[in-house]
Structure 1
Amino acid sequence: MRVLICPDKFAGTLSAPAVAQAVAEGWSTDGDVLVQRPLADGGPGFVEVLAAALNGRRIPVATVDPLGRPARGEILHVGHTAYVESAQACGLHLLTPEERDPRVTTSYGLGLLIAAAVETGAAEIVVGLGGSATNDAGAGMLAALGAAPVDVAGYALPYGGGPLITAAALSGIPQLRQARLVAATDVDNPLVGLHGASSVFGPQKGASREDVLRLDAALEHFSGVLEKAFDLEGLAAAPGGGAAGGIGAALIALGGRVTSGIALVTTLIGLDAELDAADLVITGEGSFDHQSLRGKVVAGIAAGARDRGLPCVVLAGRNETGAREAAAAGVTETHTLVEHFGSTETALAEPARGLRELSARLAGQWRR
């Protein structure tokens, strides 16, 4: 058999390349051809996955995390395009649960990454969005690019989503040297409202119910500031504007376009050709849930397998989807580390071993 192994990361435990490697190690080849194509949808691992597949140059960049502490990021430069990843500077994984507070976390570090990409001479900058700890509508990012939000007196606002309720203008024009921006995300949520950044993603970033209401109001107010600054309309409702705590909206305001992260990655690494040649597809992620089937890696892979009549196996840390829902999306069967080990703690502690063991079992089953 020709087995295509194309998982997403297992958030908090294994990167996508590490997941693919563990599955390949567990599959006793016995003449089978194993093809590893780890994936990302714009969130954590976006740059790493592309760097593994593309002939580019990785440039280290000093940046800051959501609380302004030193952090390490990088740019992947391929031709005239630079790829950056918001999660390297704004990622939820950079904070402890006690540190999560979207009222004060900032996207400033992403602005530093974009500024560095501009300095490399990139004509196009693709920003992977996802997994953020921020909810500041890209205000910190704009500040790092030379356009900090200010109040009516002209004073720069403190970082975070909360202070944006008092924003009156931007302090300058973002310094992009005419570089084109692309927001790579599979989140189509708008900036504000019931399905907006604050309401949908705020709670997982540490926001209380009261915080969500205040942040939503602050972002709605700030969208008006951005519309005035960039002569726009309808920014608050633009699809994808709510990605990464509203960074999507700021990129749209800067003239950026929104594109599907998983579609971008699969195109760049030539995944369609690998699907055409495969006999079996194995994908997966840490938590296989209702969001997985809404534009994320697993959904895209399962749909591609279904369209070609291929079986698609999902390996996950845990499974919270219904069997019918998964089958309708193109998933043939699902196996989880929690079920395999009988323990969430062990699944989190030894994911690579669990994936190797599940893969070995699958190899025997599918050969029969």
Structure 2
Amino acid sequence: MRVLICPDKFAGTLSAAEAAAAVAEGWHEVAPADECVQRPLSDGGPGFIEVLAGALDGRVIPVATVDPLGRPVRGEVLLAGGTAYVESAQACGLHLLTEQERNPNTTTSYGLGLLLAAAVETGAAEVAVGLGGSAVNDAGAGMLAALGAGPVDGSGYALPYGGSVLGTAAGLAGTPRLRQVSLVAATDVDNPLLGLHGASNVFGPQKGASRDDVLRLDAALEHFSSVLERAFGVEGLAARPGAGAAGGIGAALLALGGRVVSGIGLVTRLIGLDAELDTADLVITGEGSFDHQSLRGKVTAGIANSARDRGLPCVVVAGRNETGHREAASAGVTETYALVEHFGSLGLALGEPARGLREIASRLAQQYSR
């Protein structure tokens, strides 16, 4: 039997590659003769560069950058052909902060701007930016500052970093230094910038925003979007799908003339996943939390849809499952397993996720293997 194993990361516990390896190991304990093809995935969030670097014939370039609080961290640019790839989470990721440090009023996307500048310097004609898992809500203002076009007040002074001060922005300091490169935003969400489904309301609370913060940030981003529209001669920026990705970084990339693409769609195309799906007998995918957001363009939904179109069974193995059976089935999911239910304990699910994946995979092999 040919089993295609293509999970996303299990945030905070396992990378996508580690999760895939654990599933394959558990399956082979029961059915060692079966072929387990491991294709770890990313939808643009954490792991984007790792997944692509493992599949593309490219060169990884280390880059010194900063985290959402301005502290030094190491990032990377992947150069493959005429395209450079960068991952926003390497500089803006929520995983870079402790829970006490989360504060979207002050966190910045400046580090992503440093990565983007390094990607431009490679001479690539196109730069693809993976968006997701961010700790910021500054609509890319910090990123623009690193490129020489940060927001300024009415007197021409640079604004402090963070999302809450953007309501006082009067313009931008200059023109971004991008050397005419084409920009692509690879994202797992289609949220607009503003409103109930916007960056502040949907993702702000998980980044540390209170209800008052959410209202303040949404108003600040509304004002800043008008600044971006004037500066770059665009219209309707805030309402565009994907503008709310990564705390509004999507809006800044759109203002710079970039286009939004499906993160999972981009990754699956680059690693040739369609060919693997065409020859598979069973698909196993998964992520840390399988919930309503999973069905809006994330890895599990993308893989389940592709499996359904081919008439393949698709099993989702997640850390926890918060999706109803009917909505999961409509997306193409055959069965769902969760580590929390398997162990009967959240602590064990977080503490021993690899063991849980191996054990669930062994059960699946007993059920599905010929």
TM-score range (shorter-chain normalised) is: over 0.9
1:186 positional shift: 2.4
Partner deviation per Cα, 1:307-349 (whole Å, 9 max, x = no partner):
1111111111111111111111111111111111111001101
Query: Residue 177 of structure 2 aligns to a residue in which SS?
Result: coil
After the TM superposition, which residues 29-48 of structure 1 pair with which residues of structure 2 at under 5 Å, given as runs?
Answer: 29-48=31-50
Query: Residue 31 of structure 1 aligns to a residue in which SS?
Result: coil
- In structure 2, the residue matched to 1:107 is 109
Amino acid at match of 2:266: L
Partner deviation per Cα, 1:96-147 (whole Å, 9 max, x = no partner):
1111100000000000000001111111000000000000000000000010
User: Any gaps of 5 or more consecutive residues in structure 1?
Assistant: none
Further displaced range: 201-210 or 26-35: 26-35
1:5 paired with 2:9, answer: no
Taking the aligned partners of 2:228 and 2:326, their CA distance within structure 1 comes to 43
CA RMSD between the two structures: 0.8
1:367 positional shift: 2.3
1:291 positional shift: 0.8
Further displaced range: 228-237 or 153-162: 228-237
Is this contact kept in 1: 2:222–2:238, CA < 8 A? yes
Taking the aligned partners of 2:163 and 2:135, their CA distance within structure 1 comes to 11
Taking the aligned partners of 2:138 and 2:293, their CA distance within structure 1 comes to 23
Taking the aligned partners of 1:165 and 1:225, their CA distance within structure 2 comes to 10
Query: Residue 54 of structure 2 aligns to a residue in which SS?
Result: helix
Pick the aligned partner of 2:144 from 142, 145, 162.
142
Taking the aligned partners of 1:251 and 1:105, their CA distance within structure 2 comes to 18
Q: May I ask how many residue pairs the two structures share in their alignment?
A: 368
Amino acid at match of 2:262: S
- In structure 1, the residue matched to 2:124 is 122
Amino acid at match of 2:324: G
Amino acid at match of 2:211: R
Taking the aligned partners of 1:348 and 1:19, their CA distance within structure 2 comes to 13
Taking the aligned partners of 1:145 and 1:30, their CA distance within structure 2 comes to 52
Amino acid at match of 1:180: S
Partner deviation per Cα, 1:20-68 (whole Å, 9 max, x = no partner):
0111111124321111111110000011111111111011111000000
Q: Normalising by structure 2, what TM-score?
A: 0.98
After the TM superposition, which residues 137-176 of structure 1 pair with which residues of structure 2 at under 5 Å, given as runs?
Answer: 137-176=139-178
Q: Normalising by structure 1, what TM-score?
A: 0.99
Partner deviation per Cα, 1:159-205 (whole Å, 9 max, x = no partner):
00011011001011000011110000121111111211111111111
Query: Residue 326 of structure 1 aligns to a residue in which SS?
Result: helix
Taking the aligned partners of 1:223 and 1:36, their CA distance within structure 2 comes to 42
- In structure 1, the residue matched to 2:201 is 199
Partner deviation per Cα, 1:191-232 (whole Å, 9 max, x = no partner):
111211111111111111111111011001001111111111
- In structure 2, the residue matched to 1:362 is 364
- In structure 2, the residue matched to 1:64 is 66
Query: Residue 335 of structure 1 aligns to a residue in which SS?
Result: strand
Is this contact kept in 1: 2:137–2:199, CA < 8 A? yes
- In structure 2, the residue matched to 1:327 is 329
- In structure 2, the residue matched to 1:346 is 348
1:185 paired with 2:187, answer: yes
Taking the aligned partners of 2:210 and 2:326, their CA distance within structure 1 comes to 34
Taking the aligned partners of 2:309 and 2:189, their CA distance within structure 1 comes to 23
Taking the aligned partners of 2:189 and 2:364, their CA distance within structure 1 comes to 32
Is this contact kept in 1: 2:185–2:260, CA < 8 A? yes
Amino acid at match of 1:20: A
Amino acid at match of 1:9: K
1:22 paired with 2:22, answer: yes
Amino acid at match of 1:39: L
Partner deviation per Cα, 1:221-247 (whole Å, 9 max, x = no partner):
001111111111111111110000000
Moved over 4 A (4+): none
Amino acid at match of 1:184: A
> Percent identity at matched positions?
80
User: Any gaps of 5 or more consecutive residues in structure 2?
Assistant: none
Taking the aligned partners of 2:237 and 2:258, their CA distance within structure 1 comes to 12
After the TM superposition, which residues 206-245 of structure 1 pair with which residues of structure 2 at under 5 Å, given as runs?
Answer: 206-245=208-247
1:248 positional shift: 0.3
- In structure 2, the residue matched to 1:251 is 253
Is this contact kept in 1: 2:45–2:188, CA < 8 A? no
